[in-house]
């Protein structure tokens, strides 16, 4: 799972486990429901013997710090049940080297973007997803499924349209089960089961292809390092342009400069 702070990732994991386990509702993830984004680690919650739901620290801006580490997670280069630190550049590369012995190359990562319909997307955020989603597909081999939470609290159709325009193939909308609202309904249960079925179908399709886990891990690492390099170059270019702009504005404010008011 990945997405912005407080958009319902932890609650969605609770919902999936509640539907699958068929027992009493348990707040496995400690979800608070106050949109505060309390998860600071990437934590694994087993659903079956072979399927694990992974909660994640929410992103504040999806800037280069956050997307760099997110790409490393999707590439299966960082271990589960570890602190999410939002490192980038050489620091992120060093962390990958230090923790790679704890990663299992055979693990298959399935990307799920969780977004609340209560949170309207700005043009800047849409542009971020326009870059992030194809990169997630290139890394994992799967275009992320989008899960829209709080579906009765906002304009679901508008949010679905935005994500479909970004190339998303499968979108599911949910009202999560919570501590305060966990009366079982057929609709909610079926929606969750349909989501899990689509995930399983995608995984089965992928593993039917020729896979060499160790080789694939090295290819993903190479891809990640290229993305990190591109992000670093883009940041340096932006800083240079900002510095030039500040210098230009400083020149315009000097006596005798263009636009300076001598009166």
79 touches 99 (CB < 8 A): yes
Half-sphere exposure (CA, 13 Å, Cβ side) for 102? 11
Q: Is the pLDDT of residue 248 over 90?
A: no
Task: Give the residue among 173, 176, 121 at the shortest CA–CA distance from 147.
Answer: 173
Give the global pTM. Answer: 0.88
pLDDT over 70 percentage in the chain: 94
Half-sphere exposure (CA, 13 Å, Cβ side) for 186? 0
Q: Is the pLDDT of residue 186 over 80?
A: yes
Q: Show me where the domains of the chain are located.
A: 9-229
| Least confident stretch, 53-57, 120-124, 161-165, 250-254 | 250-254
Residue 164 is inside which H or E element, if any?
helix 156-165
Q: Is the pLDDT of residue 258 over 70?
A: no
Average pLDDT value over all residues in the chain:
90
Which top CATH class is 9-229? alpha beta
| Least confident stretch, 5-14, 84-93, 101-110, 235-244 | 235-244
The counts of H helices and E strands in the chain are 7, 6
Rounded distance, CA 212 to CA 48, Å? 24
119 touches 4 (CB < 8 A): yes
**Mean pLDDT of the region 83-92:** 90
SS3 category, 115: strand
Q: Which three-class secondary structure string do you get for 41-90?
A: EEEEEECCCCCEEEECCCECCCCHHHHHHHHHHHCCCCCCCEECCCCCHH
**Mean pLDDT of the region 154-183:** 95
| Least confident stretch, 70-79, 110-119, 172-181, 234-243 | 234-243
């Amino acid at each position: 799972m990945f997405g912005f702070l407080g958009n319902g990732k932890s609650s969605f994991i609770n919902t999936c486990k509640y539907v699958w386990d068929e027992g009493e509702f348990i707040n496995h993830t400690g979800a608070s429901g106050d949109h505060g984004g309390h998860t600071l680690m990437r934590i694994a919650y087993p659903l079956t013997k072979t399927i694990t739901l992974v909660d994640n620290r929410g992103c504040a801006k999806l800037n280069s710090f956050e997307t760099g580490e997110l790409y490393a997670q999707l590439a299966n280069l960082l271990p589960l049940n570890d602190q999410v630190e939002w490192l980038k550049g050489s620091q992120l590369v060093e962390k990958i080297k230090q923790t790679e012995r704890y990663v299992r190359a055979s693990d298959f990562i399935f990307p799920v973007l969780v977004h609340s319909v209560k949170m309207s997307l700005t043009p800047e955020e849409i542009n971020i997803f326009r870059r992030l989603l194809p990169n997630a597909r290139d890394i994992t081999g799967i275009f992320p499924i989008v899960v829209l939470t709080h579906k009765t609290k906002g304009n679901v159709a508008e949010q679905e349209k935005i994500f479909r325009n970004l190339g998303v193939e499968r979108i599911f909308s949910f009202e999560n089960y919570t501590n305060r609202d966990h009366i079982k309904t057929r609709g909610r249960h079926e929606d969750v089961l349909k989501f899990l079925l689509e995930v399983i179908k995608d995984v089965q399709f992928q593993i039917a292809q020729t896979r060499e886990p160790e080789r694939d891990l090295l290819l993903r690492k190479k891809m990640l390092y290229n993305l990190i390099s591109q992000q670093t170059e883009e940041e340096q270019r932006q800083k240079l342009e900002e510095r030039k702009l500040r210098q230009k504005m400083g020149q315009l404010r000097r006596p005798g400069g263009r636009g300076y008011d001598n009166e």
